Structure 1
Protein backbone atom coordinates (compact mmCIF):
# COMPACT_ATOMS: atom_id res chain seq x y z
CA UNK A 1 0.00 0.00 0.00
CA UNK A 2 2.78 2.47 0.89
CA UNK A 3 4.69 1.67 -2.31
CA UNK A 4 1.50 2.05 -4.36
CA UNK A 5 0.72 5.38 -2.70
CA UNK A 6 4.24 6.72 -3.22
CA UNK A 7 4.14 5.82 -6.92
CA UNK A 8 0.76 7.52 -7.30
CA UNK A 9 1.91 10.71 -5.58
CA UNK A 10 5.10 10.80 -7.65
CA UNK A 11 3.18 10.39 -10.89
CA UNK A 12 0.67 13.07 -9.90
CA UNK A 13 3.41 15.51 -8.95
CA UNK A 14 5.18 14.90 -12.23
CA UNK A 15 1.99 15.75 -14.14
CA UNK A 16 1.74 19.14 -12.39
CA UNK A 17 -1.60 18.27 -10.76
CA UNK A 18 -2.02 18.83 -7.03
CA UNK A 19 -2.98 15.61 -5.26
CA UNK A 20 -4.83 15.08 -2.00
CA UNK A 21 -1.75 13.32 -0.65
CA UNK A 22 0.40 16.46 -0.76
CA UNK A 23 -2.01 18.60 1.27
CA UNK A 24 -3.67 15.95 3.44
CA UNK A 25 -6.13 17.11 6.08
CA UNK A 26 -6.91 20.42 4.38
CA UNK A 27 -10.34 21.41 3.13
CA UNK A 28 -10.07 20.97 -0.62
CA UNK A 29 -13.57 21.75 -1.92
CA UNK A 30 -17.19 22.40 -0.98
CA UNK A 31 -20.14 20.81 -2.70
CA UNK A 32 -23.92 20.87 -2.59
CA UNK A 33 -25.77 17.60 -3.04
CA UNK A 34 -29.28 18.46 -4.18
CA UNK A 35 -32.33 16.69 -5.59
CA UNK A 36 -32.62 18.75 -8.78
CA UNK A 37 -29.39 19.93 -10.40
CA UNK A 38 -31.04 22.29 -12.88
CA UNK A 39 -33.24 23.91 -10.21
CA UNK A 40 -30.20 24.41 -7.95
CA UNK A 41 -28.26 26.02 -10.80
CA UNK A 42 -31.17 28.34 -11.51
CA UNK A 43 -31.40 29.40 -7.85
CA UNK A 44 -27.70 29.97 -7.21
CA UNK A 45 -27.23 31.59 -10.60
CA UNK A 46 -29.97 34.10 -9.83
CA UNK A 47 -29.13 34.58 -6.14
CA UNK A 48 -25.32 34.69 -6.30
CA UNK A 49 -24.62 35.38 -9.96
CA UNK A 50 -22.84 32.07 -10.49
CA UNK A 51 -22.35 30.42 -13.85
CA UNK A 52 -21.78 26.69 -14.30
CA UNK A 53 -19.67 24.29 -16.32
CA UNK A 54 -19.67 20.48 -16.39
CA UNK A 55 -17.49 18.70 -13.84
CA UNK A 56 -15.23 15.74 -14.52
CA UNK A 57 -17.27 13.63 -12.09
CA UNK A 58 -20.11 13.04 -14.55
CA UNK A 59 -23.25 14.53 -16.08
CA UNK A 60 -24.97 15.03 -12.73
CA UNK A 61 -22.21 17.29 -11.40
CA UNK A 62 -21.26 20.87 -12.22
CA UNK A 63 -18.73 23.46 -11.07
CA UNK A 64 -20.01 26.89 -9.98
CA UNK A 65 -18.01 29.84 -11.27
CA UNK A 66 -17.95 33.40 -9.95
CA UNK A 67 -16.55 35.77 -12.59
CA UNK A 68 -14.93 32.74 -14.20
CA UNK A 69 -13.29 31.45 -11.00
CA UNK A 70 -14.28 28.08 -9.46
CA UNK A 71 -16.18 28.42 -6.19
CA UNK A 72 -17.96 25.15 -5.44
CA UNK A 73 -19.53 22.03 -6.86
CA UNK A 74 -23.18 21.09 -7.22
CA UNK A 75 -24.30 17.52 -7.78
CA UNK A 76 -27.59 15.64 -8.01
CA UNK A 77 -28.28 13.11 -5.27
CA UNK A 78 -28.77 9.55 -6.43
CA UNK A 79 -32.32 8.50 -5.57
CA UNK A 80 -31.01 5.44 -3.70
CA UNK A 81 -28.96 7.56 -1.27
CA UNK A 82 -30.65 8.53 1.98
CA UNK A 83 -28.63 11.72 2.36
CA UNK A 84 -29.97 15.14 3.31
CA UNK A 85 -29.61 18.08 0.93
CA UNK A 86 -26.66 20.02 2.34
CA UNK A 87 -23.55 22.02 1.59
CA UNK A 88 -20.62 19.79 2.53
CA UNK A 89 -16.87 20.45 2.89
CA UNK A 90 -14.41 17.86 1.58
CA UNK A 91 -11.01 17.22 3.16
CA UNK A 92 -8.01 15.92 1.23
CA UNK A 93 -6.67 12.57 2.41
CA UNK A 94 -3.84 10.28 1.37
CA UNK A 95 -5.87 7.07 1.67
CA UNK A 96 -9.69 7.12 1.71
CA UNK A 97 -9.99 3.60 3.13
CA UNK A 98 -7.58 4.28 5.96
CA UNK A 99 -9.29 7.57 6.78
CA UNK A 100 -12.73 5.93 6.77
CA UNK A 101 -11.41 3.35 9.24
CA UNK A 102 -10.07 6.13 11.49
CA UNK A 103 -13.46 7.86 11.45
CA UNK A 104 -15.22 4.67 12.55
CA UNK A 105 -12.60 3.88 15.19
CA UNK A 106 -13.26 7.28 16.78
CA UNK A 107 -17.05 6.80 16.89
CA UNK A 108 -17.78 8.78 13.73
CA UNK A 109 -19.95 7.45 10.92
CA UNK A 110 -19.18 6.74 7.27
CA UNK A 111 -22.50 6.99 5.44
CA UNK A 112 -21.41 6.59 1.80
CA UNK A 113 -18.25 5.17 0.25
CA UNK A 114 -15.45 5.34 -0.35
CA UNK A 115 -16.69 5.48 -3.95
CA UNK A 116 -14.47 5.58 -7.02
CA UNK A 117 -14.63 8.34 -9.64
CA UNK A 118 -12.53 9.06 -12.73
CA UNK A 119 -10.12 11.33 -10.85
CA UNK A 120 -10.24 9.93 -7.32
CA UNK A 121 -12.24 8.40 -4.50
CA UNK A 122 -14.58 10.03 -2.02
CA UNK A 123 -16.80 9.32 0.96
CA UNK A 124 -19.40 11.07 3.09
CA UNK A 125 -19.06 10.88 6.86
CA UNK A 126 -20.19 12.50 10.10
CA UNK A 127 -18.27 13.27 13.27
CA UNK A 128 -19.30 12.15 16.75
CA UNK A 129 -21.74 15.07 17.11
CA UNK A 130 -23.35 14.53 13.70
CA UNK A 131 -21.63 17.23 11.60
CA UNK A 132 -21.38 15.94 8.03
CA UNK A 133 -18.19 16.19 5.97
CA UNK A 134 -16.56 14.47 3.03
CA UNK A 135 -13.14 13.00 2.33
CA UNK A 136 -11.35 12.98 -1.02
CA UNK A 137 -8.37 10.97 -2.26
CA UNK A 138 -7.01 11.89 -5.69
CA UNK A 139 -6.58 14.86 -7.98
CA UNK A 140 -7.65 18.25 -6.67
CA UNK A 141 -9.30 21.07 -8.57
CA UNK A 142 -7.04 22.62 -11.20
CA UNK A 143 -5.79 25.83 -9.60
CA UNK A 144 -6.55 24.54 -6.11
CA UNK A 145 -3.78 26.61 -4.48
CA UNK A 146 -5.47 29.77 -5.79
CA UNK A 147 -8.84 28.53 -4.51
CA UNK A 148 -7.31 28.03 -1.06
CA UNK A 149 -5.61 31.44 -1.05
CA UNK A 150 -8.56 33.44 -2.43
CA UNK A 151 -11.09 31.63 -0.20
CA UNK A 152 -14.23 31.96 -2.37
CA UNK A 153 -15.71 29.64 0.27
CA UNK A 154 -14.55 29.18 3.84
CA UNK A 155 -15.65 26.94 6.68
CA UNK A 156 -16.73 27.14 10.28
CA UNK A 157 -17.59 24.09 12.35
CA UNK A 158 -20.42 24.79 14.75
CA UNK A 159 -19.95 22.04 17.32
CA UNK A 160 -20.68 21.13 20.90
CA UNK A 161 -17.08 21.44 22.08
CA UNK A 162 -14.47 22.87 19.70
CA UNK A 163 -11.51 21.36 21.52
CA UNK A 164 -12.97 17.86 21.56
CA UNK A 165 -13.83 18.24 17.88
CA UNK A 166 -10.27 19.35 17.12
CA UNK A 167 -8.96 16.17 18.73
CA UNK A 168 -11.33 14.03 16.62
CA UNK A 169 -10.46 15.73 13.33
CA UNK A 170 -6.79 16.01 14.25
CA UNK A 171 -6.55 12.24 14.76
CA UNK A 172 -8.52 11.52 11.59
CA UNK A 173 -6.65 13.97 9.34
CA UNK A 174 -3.21 14.14 10.98
CA UNK A 175 -3.49 17.83 11.79
CA UNK A 176 -0.38 19.33 13.42
CA UNK A 177 1.59 16.12 12.89
CA UNK A 178 4.71 17.94 11.67
CA UNK A 179 4.90 16.23 8.27
CA UNK A 180 5.20 18.38 5.13
CA UNK A 181 1.77 19.32 3.81
CA UNK A 182 -0.13 18.91 7.08
CA UNK A 183 -2.41 21.57 8.53
CA UNK A 184 -1.47 23.66 11.56
CA UNK A 185 -3.82 24.20 14.49
CA UNK A 186 -3.97 27.34 16.63
CA UNK A 187 -6.13 28.31 19.58
CA UNK A 188 -7.68 31.78 19.65
CA UNK A 189 -9.80 32.22 22.76
CA UNK A 190 -12.60 29.69 22.55
CA UNK A 191 -11.99 28.93 18.86
CA UNK A 192 -9.72 26.48 17.08
CA UNK A 193 -8.20 27.86 13.88
CA UNK A 194 -6.99 25.60 11.07
CA UNK A 195 -4.30 26.81 8.68
CA UNK A 196 -2.97 25.29 5.47
CA UNK A 197 0.27 26.78 4.11
CA UNK A 198 -0.37 29.83 6.29
CA UNK A 199 -3.94 30.39 5.06
CA UNK A 200 -6.88 30.18 7.45
CA UNK A 201 -9.07 27.45 5.95
CA UNK A 202 -11.47 26.67 8.80
CA UNK A 203 -12.55 27.68 12.27
CA UNK A 204 -14.06 25.45 14.94
CA UNK A 205 -16.36 27.01 17.53
CA UNK A 206 -18.33 25.66 20.51
CA UNK A 207 -21.96 26.20 21.39
CA UNK A 208 -23.98 23.96 19.06
CA UNK A 209 -26.87 22.01 20.56
CA UNK A 210 -27.06 18.42 19.36
CA UNK A 211 -30.79 18.01 20.05
CA UNK A 212 -31.86 21.50 18.96
CA UNK A 213 -35.08 21.58 16.92
CA UNK A 214 -33.54 24.22 14.66
CA UNK A 215 -31.06 22.54 12.27
CA UNK A 216 -29.18 25.83 11.91
CA UNK A 217 -27.82 25.52 15.46
CA UNK A 218 -27.16 21.80 15.51
CA UNK A 219 -23.57 20.61 15.03
CA UNK A 220 -22.70 21.21 11.37
CA UNK A 221 -20.06 22.52 9.02
CA UNK A 222 -21.12 25.99 7.89
CA UNK A 223 -20.11 26.95 4.35
CA UNK A 224 -19.58 30.73 3.99
CA UNK A 225 -19.49 32.56 0.65
CA UNK A 226 -18.02 36.10 0.73
CA UNK A 227 -19.98 38.51 -1.48
CA UNK A 228 -19.70 42.22 -2.27
CA UNK A 229 -23.22 43.11 -1.13
CA UNK A 230 -24.85 40.77 1.39
CA UNK A 231 -28.17 42.61 1.43
CA UNK A 232 -28.57 42.58 -2.36
CA UNK A 233 -27.84 38.85 -2.48
CA UNK A 234 -30.29 38.18 0.34
CA UNK A 235 -33.00 40.04 -1.58
CA UNK A 236 -32.21 38.06 -4.74
CA UNK A 237 -32.33 34.77 -2.84
CA UNK A 238 -35.74 35.66 -1.40
CA UNK A 239 -37.10 36.51 -4.84
CA UNK A 240 -36.08 33.10 -6.12
CA UNK A 241 -37.45 30.94 -3.32
CA UNK A 242 -34.74 31.14 -0.66
CA UNK A 243 -35.52 31.53 3.04
CA UNK A 244 -33.62 33.84 5.41
CA UNK A 245 -32.69 32.14 8.69
CA UNK A 246 -30.58 34.93 10.15
CA UNK A 247 -29.60 38.32 8.73
CA UNK A 248 -27.34 41.03 10.11
CA UNK A 249 -27.71 43.73 7.45
CA UNK A 250 -24.52 44.56 5.63
CA UNK A 251 -22.52 41.88 7.46
CA UNK A 252 -23.75 38.32 7.02
CA UNK A 253 -26.81 36.17 6.48
CA UNK A 254 -27.67 32.49 6.80
CA UNK A 255 -30.13 31.23 4.21
CA UNK A 256 -31.87 28.05 3.13
CA UNK A 257 -32.17 27.32 -0.59
CA UNK A 258 -35.49 26.03 -2.01
CA UNK A 259 -34.32 22.42 -1.60
CA UNK A 260 -33.26 22.85 2.04
CA UNK A 261 -29.51 23.46 1.76
CA UNK A 262 -28.16 25.91 4.38
CA UNK A 263 -25.41 28.38 3.48
CA UNK A 264 -24.02 31.68 4.77
CA UNK A 265 -23.17 34.91 2.96
CA UNK A 266 -20.61 37.28 4.43
CA UNK A 267 -18.73 40.41 3.47
CA UNK A 268 -15.73 39.33 5.48
CA UNK A 269 -13.30 36.51 4.85
CA UNK A 270 -12.18 34.78 8.05
CA UNK A 271 -8.47 35.42 8.41
Structure 2
Protein backbone atom coordinates (compact mmCIF):
# COMPACT_ATOMS: atom_id res chain seq x y z
CA UNK A 1 0.00 0.00 0.00
CA UNK A 2 1.26 3.48 -0.75
CA UNK A 3 -1.08 6.06 0.79
CA UNK A 4 -0.13 9.76 0.82
CA UNK A 5 1.51 10.08 4.06
CA UNK A 6 -3.01 9.95 12.91
CA UNK A 7 -5.44 8.50 14.15
CA UNK A 8 -7.97 11.29 13.60
CA UNK A 9 -10.29 12.67 10.96
CA UNK A 10 -8.52 13.89 7.82
CA UNK A 11 -8.75 17.66 7.56
CA UNK A 12 -8.04 20.24 4.92
CA UNK A 13 -5.81 23.26 5.49
CA UNK A 14 -8.94 25.20 6.46
CA UNK A 15 -9.65 22.64 9.19
CA UNK A 16 -12.68 21.22 7.37
CA UNK A 17 -13.07 17.44 7.87
CA UNK A 18 -12.96 14.93 5.00
CA UNK A 19 -14.26 11.37 5.12
CA UNK A 20 -15.73 8.83 2.72
CA UNK A 21 -14.05 10.46 -0.28
CA UNK A 22 -11.39 8.88 -2.50
CA UNK A 23 -8.13 10.43 -1.33
CA UNK A 24 -5.42 8.51 -3.18
CA UNK A 25 -4.69 5.82 -5.77
CA UNK A 26 -1.91 3.28 -5.50
CA UNK A 27 -0.20 0.71 -7.71
CA UNK A 28 1.97 -2.19 -6.55
CA UNK A 29 4.31 -3.03 -9.45
CA UNK A 30 6.53 -6.03 -10.11
CA UNK A 31 9.31 -3.80 -11.49
CA UNK A 32 9.36 -0.40 -9.81
CA UNK A 33 11.94 1.17 -12.12
CA UNK A 34 10.26 -0.06 -15.31
CA UNK A 35 6.88 1.16 -14.06
CA UNK A 36 8.28 4.63 -13.30
CA UNK A 37 9.84 4.73 -16.77
CA UNK A 38 6.54 3.78 -18.39
CA UNK A 39 4.31 6.33 -16.62
CA UNK A 40 6.98 9.01 -16.84
CA UNK A 41 7.24 8.57 -20.62
CA UNK A 42 3.49 8.30 -21.22
CA UNK A 43 2.04 10.79 -18.72
CA UNK A 44 5.05 12.97 -17.98
CA UNK A 45 5.12 12.05 -14.31
CA UNK A 46 8.13 12.68 -12.12
CA UNK A 47 8.81 10.73 -8.94
CA UNK A 48 10.11 11.25 -5.42
CA UNK A 49 10.60 8.99 -2.45
CA UNK A 50 7.73 8.73 0.02
CA UNK A 51 7.51 8.10 3.74
CA UNK A 52 7.35 4.33 3.23
CA UNK A 53 10.96 3.84 2.11
CA UNK A 54 12.98 3.27 -1.02
CA UNK A 55 10.56 0.70 -2.45
CA UNK A 56 7.80 3.31 -2.73
CA UNK A 57 7.50 6.37 -4.94
CA UNK A 58 5.13 9.31 -5.12
CA UNK A 59 4.18 10.24 -8.70
CA UNK A 60 3.82 13.95 -9.44
CA UNK A 61 2.25 15.80 -12.37
CA UNK A 62 3.45 19.40 -12.64
CA UNK A 63 4.70 19.10 -9.07
CA UNK A 64 1.35 17.92 -7.64
CA UNK A 65 1.20 14.42 -6.05
CA UNK A 66 -1.03 12.21 -8.18
CA UNK A 67 -0.53 8.61 -7.07
CA UNK A 68 1.73 6.14 -5.29
CA UNK A 69 3.71 3.28 -6.82
CA UNK A 70 5.35 0.56 -4.74
CA UNK A 71 7.38 -2.56 -5.42
CA UNK A 72 5.40 -5.78 -5.13
CA UNK A 73 7.19 -8.55 -3.27
CA UNK A 74 8.25 -11.22 -5.84
CA UNK A 75 6.74 -14.01 -3.74
CA UNK A 76 3.25 -12.48 -3.91
CA UNK A 77 1.32 -13.97 -6.82
CA UNK A 78 -1.36 -11.30 -7.10
CA UNK A 79 -2.69 -9.26 -9.99
CA UNK A 80 -1.14 -5.84 -10.48
CA UNK A 81 -3.90 -3.22 -10.27
CA UNK A 82 -4.55 0.42 -9.48
CA UNK A 83 -6.36 0.69 -6.14
CA UNK A 84 -8.32 3.68 -4.77
CA UNK A 85 -8.09 4.63 -1.08
CA UNK A 86 -10.93 6.28 0.84
CA UNK A 87 -10.45 8.68 3.74
CA UNK A 88 -12.02 7.36 6.96
CA UNK A 89 -12.25 8.63 10.51
CA UNK A 90 -11.49 5.27 12.16
CA UNK A 91 -10.04 2.41 10.14
CA UNK A 92 -10.99 -0.20 12.75
CA UNK A 93 -14.63 0.90 12.84
CA UNK A 94 -14.77 0.97 9.03
CA UNK A 95 -13.18 -2.49 8.78
CA UNK A 96 -15.82 -3.84 11.17
CA UNK A 97 -18.59 -2.33 9.07
CA UNK A 98 -17.14 -3.98 5.95
CA UNK A 99 -17.14 -7.42 7.58
CA UNK A 100 -20.62 -6.95 9.03
CA UNK A 101 -21.99 -6.22 5.55
CA UNK A 102 -20.43 -9.19 3.80
CA UNK A 103 -17.20 -7.61 2.57
CA UNK A 104 -13.66 -8.79 3.28
CA UNK A 105 -10.70 -7.06 4.94
CA UNK A 106 -7.58 -8.67 3.47
CA UNK A 107 -4.85 -6.51 5.03
CA UNK A 108 -4.90 -4.39 8.19
CA UNK A 109 -5.73 -1.99 9.48
CA UNK A 110 -2.00 -1.50 10.02
CA UNK A 111 0.08 1.47 11.21
CA UNK A 112 1.89 3.23 8.35
CA UNK A 113 3.99 6.10 9.68
CA UNK A 114 1.55 9.00 10.17
CA UNK A 115 -1.65 7.03 9.61
CA UNK A 116 -3.31 3.65 9.32
CA UNK A 117 -4.33 1.77 6.22
CA UNK A 118 -6.19 -1.34 5.14
CA UNK A 119 -7.08 -3.24 1.98
CA UNK A 120 -10.58 -4.63 1.60
CA UNK A 121 -13.09 -5.85 -0.95
CA UNK A 122 -16.83 -5.32 -1.17
CA UNK A 123 -19.46 -8.07 -1.39
CA UNK A 124 -18.88 -8.45 -5.13
CA UNK A 125 -15.08 -8.65 -4.87
CA UNK A 126 -14.10 -5.10 -5.88
CA UNK A 127 -10.86 -4.17 -4.06
CA UNK A 128 -10.38 -0.80 -2.36
CA UNK A 129 -8.29 0.74 0.40
CA UNK A 130 -8.91 2.70 3.59
CA UNK A 131 -6.76 5.55 4.88
CA UNK A 132 -7.01 7.07 8.34
CA UNK A 133 -4.73 10.05 8.73
CA UNK A 134 -3.64 13.29 7.06
CA UNK A 135 -4.17 13.77 3.33
CA UNK A 136 -1.57 15.12 0.94
CA UNK A 137 -1.52 18.94 1.34
CA UNK A 138 -2.60 19.34 -2.29
CA UNK A 139 -5.65 17.09 -1.90
CA UNK A 140 -8.16 19.89 -2.58
CA UNK A 141 -6.38 20.62 -5.87
CA UNK A 142 -6.27 16.86 -6.57
CA UNK A 143 -10.04 16.68 -6.00
CA UNK A 144 -11.00 19.91 -7.79
CA UNK A 145 -8.98 19.43 -10.98
CA UNK A 146 -9.64 15.65 -11.09
CA UNK A 147 -6.27 14.57 -12.55
CA UNK A 148 -7.26 11.11 -11.32
CA UNK A 149 -10.67 9.74 -10.44
CA UNK A 150 -12.21 6.33 -9.96
CA UNK A 151 -15.24 4.39 -11.17
CA UNK A 152 -16.77 1.29 -9.63
CA UNK A 153 -17.92 -1.09 -12.34
CA UNK A 154 -20.23 -3.40 -10.44
CA UNK A 155 -23.17 -5.76 -10.71
CA UNK A 156 -25.71 -3.37 -9.18
CA UNK A 157 -24.72 0.27 -8.62
CA UNK A 158 -27.66 0.92 -6.27
CA UNK A 159 -26.78 -2.04 -4.03
CA UNK A 160 -23.12 -1.02 -4.08
CA UNK A 161 -24.01 2.56 -3.16
CA UNK A 162 -25.90 1.26 -0.11
CA UNK A 163 -22.93 -0.90 0.92
CA UNK A 164 -20.36 1.90 0.56
CA UNK A 165 -22.73 4.48 1.98
CA UNK A 166 -23.11 2.46 5.18
CA UNK A 167 -19.39 1.67 5.36
CA UNK A 168 -18.04 5.13 4.51
CA UNK A 169 -20.85 7.36 5.87
CA UNK A 170 -21.89 8.76 2.51
CA UNK A 171 -24.88 11.15 2.50
CA UNK A 172 -24.91 11.42 6.29
CA UNK A 173 -25.41 15.22 6.41
CA UNK A 174 -22.30 15.71 8.55
CA UNK A 175 -19.64 18.24 7.49
CA UNK A 176 -17.01 16.59 5.34
CA UNK A 177 -19.08 13.69 4.01
CA UNK A 178 -19.89 12.90 0.38
CA UNK A 179 -23.14 13.46 -1.47
CA UNK A 180 -24.65 10.67 -3.59
CA UNK A 181 -26.92 11.24 -6.59
CA UNK A 182 -28.29 9.18 -9.48
CA UNK A 183 -27.40 10.87 -12.78
CA UNK A 184 -27.41 9.61 -16.38
CA UNK A 185 -27.84 5.93 -15.47
CA UNK A 186 -25.07 5.87 -12.84
CA UNK A 187 -24.50 6.78 -9.20
CA UNK A 188 -22.32 9.88 -8.82
CA UNK A 189 -20.32 10.64 -5.68
CA UNK A 190 -19.44 14.27 -4.93
CA UNK A 191 -17.41 16.00 -2.26
CA UNK A 192 -17.95 19.75 -1.83
CA UNK A 193 -19.72 19.77 -5.20
CA UNK A 194 -16.89 18.05 -7.10
CA UNK A 195 -17.33 14.63 -8.72
CA UNK A 196 -14.89 12.23 -7.01
CA UNK A 197 -16.24 8.81 -8.09
CA UNK A 198 -18.88 7.10 -10.19
CA UNK A 199 -20.65 3.75 -9.73
CA UNK A 200 -21.93 1.94 -12.82
CA UNK A 201 -24.01 -1.25 -13.15
CA UNK A 202 -23.32 -4.08 -15.57
CA UNK A 203 -20.27 -6.00 -14.35
CA UNK A 204 -20.56 -9.80 -14.23
CA UNK A 205 -19.13 -11.58 -11.18
CA UNK A 206 -18.30 -14.81 -13.01
CA UNK A 207 -16.91 -13.22 -16.18
CA UNK A 208 -13.65 -14.87 -17.35
CA UNK A 209 -12.26 -11.43 -18.27
CA UNK A 210 -11.21 -9.61 -15.05
CA UNK A 211 -12.06 -6.25 -16.64
CA UNK A 212 -15.71 -7.36 -16.79
CA UNK A 213 -15.90 -8.38 -13.13
CA UNK A 214 -16.78 -5.89 -10.37
CA UNK A 215 -13.76 -3.65 -9.74
CA UNK A 216 -12.69 -0.09 -9.07
CA UNK A 217 -11.17 1.36 -12.22
CA UNK A 218 -8.78 4.33 -12.25
CA UNK A 219 -9.08 7.16 -14.78
CA UNK A 220 -6.36 9.71 -15.52
CA UNK A 221 -7.29 13.06 -17.03
CA UNK A 222 -5.08 14.13 -19.93
CA UNK A 223 -5.29 16.69 -22.73
CA UNK A 224 -5.23 14.16 -25.59
CA UNK A 225 -6.12 10.56 -24.62
CA UNK A 226 -5.53 9.13 -28.08
CA UNK A 227 -2.09 10.68 -28.45
CA UNK A 228 -1.05 9.50 -25.00
CA UNK A 229 -2.48 6.05 -25.73
CA UNK A 230 -0.30 5.85 -28.84
CA UNK A 231 2.74 6.75 -26.71
CA UNK A 232 1.70 4.08 -24.23
CA UNK A 233 1.47 1.51 -27.03
CA UNK A 234 5.03 2.26 -28.14
CA UNK A 235 6.18 1.71 -24.55
CA UNK A 236 4.60 -1.73 -24.24
CA UNK A 237 0.99 -1.03 -23.25
CA UNK A 238 -2.04 -2.70 -24.80
CA UNK A 239 -5.08 -0.75 -25.97
CA UNK A 240 -8.14 -2.61 -24.66
CA UNK A 241 -10.95 -0.32 -25.82
CA UNK A 242 -11.67 3.24 -26.87
CA UNK A 243 -14.64 5.45 -27.53
CA UNK A 244 -16.23 8.85 -27.01
CA UNK A 245 -18.21 9.82 -23.90
CA UNK A 246 -20.15 13.00 -23.15
CA UNK A 247 -16.93 14.59 -21.88
CA UNK A 248 -14.83 13.54 -24.88
CA UNK A 249 -12.66 10.65 -26.10
CA UNK A 250 -11.37 7.92 -23.79
CA UNK A 251 -8.97 5.01 -24.17
CA UNK A 252 -8.72 2.01 -21.84
CA UNK A 253 -5.22 0.54 -21.53
CA UNK A 254 -3.25 -2.20 -19.85
CA UNK A 255 0.28 -1.19 -18.84
CA UNK A 256 3.23 -3.57 -19.46
CA UNK A 257 2.69 -5.07 -15.98
CA UNK A 258 -1.01 -5.76 -16.61
CA UNK A 259 -2.56 -2.91 -14.59
CA UNK A 260 -5.54 -1.41 -16.42
CA UNK A 261 -6.50 2.26 -16.47
CA UNK A 262 -8.35 4.72 -18.68
CA UNK A 263 -7.22 8.02 -20.16
CA UNK A 264 -9.93 10.64 -20.71
CA UNK A 265 -10.21 14.39 -21.11
CA UNK A 266 -12.08 15.04 -17.84
CA UNK A 267 -14.12 13.26 -15.16
**TM-score, normalised via structure 2 length:** 0.91
Size of the aligned set, in residue pairs, is 259
**TM-superposed deviation, 1:206:** 0.3
CA contact (8 A) 1:153 1:223 kept: yes
Partner in structure 2 of residue 94 of structure 1: 89
Using the TM superposition, give the Cα deviation of residue 18 of structure 1 relative to its aligned residue in structure 2, in angstroms.
6.9
The alignment's C-alpha RMSD in Å is 2.1
Q: Which residue of structure 2 lines up, in the alignment, with residue 192 of structure 1? A: 187
Residue of structure 1 equivalent to 2:262: 264
> Of residues 97, 111, 114 in structure 2, which corresponds to 1:116?
111
Larger displacement relative to structure 2 (231-240 or 81-90)? 81-90
User: Aligned-pair distance for 1:248?
Assistant: 2.6
Identify the match of residue 253 of structure 1 among 251, 254, 264. Answer: 251
Q: Which runs of 5+ in 2 are unaligned?
A: 1-5
Q: Could you tell me how far 1:43 is from its partner in structure 2?
A: 0.9
Question: Are positions 1:132 and 2:132 aligned together?
Answer: no
Distance 1:126 1:74 in 2: 20
Are 1:31 and 2:29 an aligned pair? no
Separation in structure 2 between the aligned mates of residue 133 and residue 116 of structure 1, nearest angstrom: 17
- The two structures have a TM-score, normalised by structure 1, of 0.90
The answer to whether the Cα contact below 8 Å between 2:21 and 2:196 also exists between their aligned partners in 1 is yes
SS state at 1:39 partner: helix
2:236 to 237, 241, 247: 241
Structure 1 unaligned segments of length 5 or more: list them: 1-6
Query: 118-127 vs 243-252, which deviates more?
Result: 243-252
**SS in structure 2 of the partner of residue 97 of structure 1:** helix
Alpha-carbon contact 2:106-2:119 (below 8 Å) kept: yes
> Which one is further off, 156-165 or 210-219?
210-219
Tell me whether 1:227 sits opposite 2:222 in the alignment: yes
1:141 correspondence with 2:139: no
The yes-or-no answer on 1:210 pairing with 2:210 is no
Aligned counterpart, 1:78:
73
